[in-house]
Structure 1
Amino acid sequence: MKCVVELSEAEDKTLHQMSLNHEHRDMRIRAAGVMMLGRKIKLTEVASQLGVSGQSVYNWAHAWRESGICGLLVGHKGGRPRSLSEAMIATAIEAASAELMTLRQIAQRVEETHGVPFPCHLDTLSITLKRAGFSYKRGRYSLKKNVTPRSSL
């Protein structure tokens, strides 16, 4: 398989940045692979260094020649779908902004507003709210002591 990619200086720089900074791992690997092909590294060597098959590298090169960077970006299909919809996230952010609430109270507000059971764990809600700029600390549990000692019978 002859696999040659010609890159301009700007394209090489773009692929380098993409290989370092893209949010999806598979996109970083694709960018690195095409960049290595542009630097005249053999297809088999690129595949072994990146831990992928030679056919994958060939497909990346073909996508690059056909559509440029868009050809590499279109292929991301990985990852689990989000359990919270955008509307649920907006409701949670609105509830958290309005008043002080626990995560469970925010989840209940989302359930009431949307009329469906809360679709995920409270940790997922916490992470989502942290991404939106909110921070939460777990409330400390205090030991409740009995005021009157128990009498032995």
Structure 2
Amino acid sequence: MKCVVVLKAVEEVTLQQMSINHRHRDTRTRAAGLLMLGRGLKARAIAAQLGVSGQSVYNWSHAWRERGICGLMGAHNGGRHALLTEAQIAVALEIARAEALTLGGIAQRVEAALNEPLPCKIETLGEALKRNGFSFKRNRYALKKSATRKRSP
């Protein structure tokens, strides 16, 4: 089966930009592969150059013919599922806005409010709060040097 893609000038520009700037690596790879197909390279050569299987290149061309650019982007299913639900994050944000607490204190209050333990580490909760605009400072455990210096008479 021959794997040929005919690209218009506008599509070629779009695929070039997508192969450089898209946030998902697999989508960038697909766009680069389609550009190579449009320039007349063979599927096996493209697969070898991009480090994918030959079947992947055929799948990309089929998706392009069927659905266009949406066919390239719709297949991204990578990544781990979120451990914290939107409800848990919303409760944590409410608690964090109410008063200044440590991350451990916020985690304890979230667990108490939801009557269940957090399904993740406290650091994951901290990252979720950071994504929503909160920042944390490290607690200082030692006294300042100027306070511990001996004063000369």
Alignment TM-score > 0.5, same fold: yes
Distance 1:21 1:86 in 2: 29
Deviation at 1:120, TM superposition (A): 0.8
Structure 2, unmatched stretches of 5+, are: 144-153
Cross-structure match for 2:10: 10
Cross-structure match for 2:148: none
Deviation at 1:140, TM superposition (A): 2.6
Aligned to 1:137, the other structure's residue is in SS state coil
Deviations along 1:2-39, whole A, 9 cap, x unmatched? Answer: 21111222222222222223232222211221122122
Distance 2:6 2:93 in 1: 47
Deviation at 1:42, TM superposition (A): 2.1
Matched, 1:110 2:124: no
Cross-structure match for 1:56: 56
Aligned to 1:139, the other structure's residue is in SS state coil
User: TM-score scaled by structure 1?
Assistant: 0.83
RMSD: 1.8
Identity %: 62
In the TM superposition, 1:65-144 aligns within 5 A as 65-142=65-142
Amino acid across the alignment from 1:64: W
Amino acid across the alignment from 1:56: S
User: TM-score scaled by structure 2?
Assistant: 0.83
Cross-structure match for 2:147: none
Runs ≥4 in structure 1, deviation > 3 angstroms?
none
Distance 1:19 1:134 in 2: 33
Deviation at 1:63, TM superposition (A): 0.6
